[in-house]
Amino acid sequence: MKAIYKIEIDYGRSGSLYGIFVADTERVKKVVEEKTSVYFGEVLGKHSEVEVTFNDPADFILVSDDPAVVEVFEKHEMATGYDPFDYIDDGE
Contacts of residue 40, Cβ cutoff 8 Å, sequence gap at least 6: 17, 50, 51, 52, 82, 84, 87
Specify the 3-state DSSP secondary structure of 9.
strand
From CA 86, how far away is CA 79, in angstroms rounded? 12
The pLDDT tens digits of the residues spanning 6-53 come to 999 999 999 999 999 999 999 999 999 999 999 999 999 999 999 999
Does residue 91 lie in a domain region? Answer: no
Tell me whether residue 21 is in a domain.
Answer: yes
Query: Is 17 among the domain residues?
Result: yes
In a domain, 31, yes or no: yes
Q: pTM (2 decimals)?
A: 0.91
In a domain, 92, yes or no: no
Taking only the tens place, the pLDDT of each residue in 52-74 is 999 999 999 999 999 999 999 99
Residue 14 lies in a domain: yes
How many independent structural domains does the chain possess?
Answer: 1
pLDDT band at 89 (very low <50, low <70, confident <90, very high): confident
Range of the domain at 66: 2-86
Give a yes or no: residue 39 inside a domain. Answer: yes
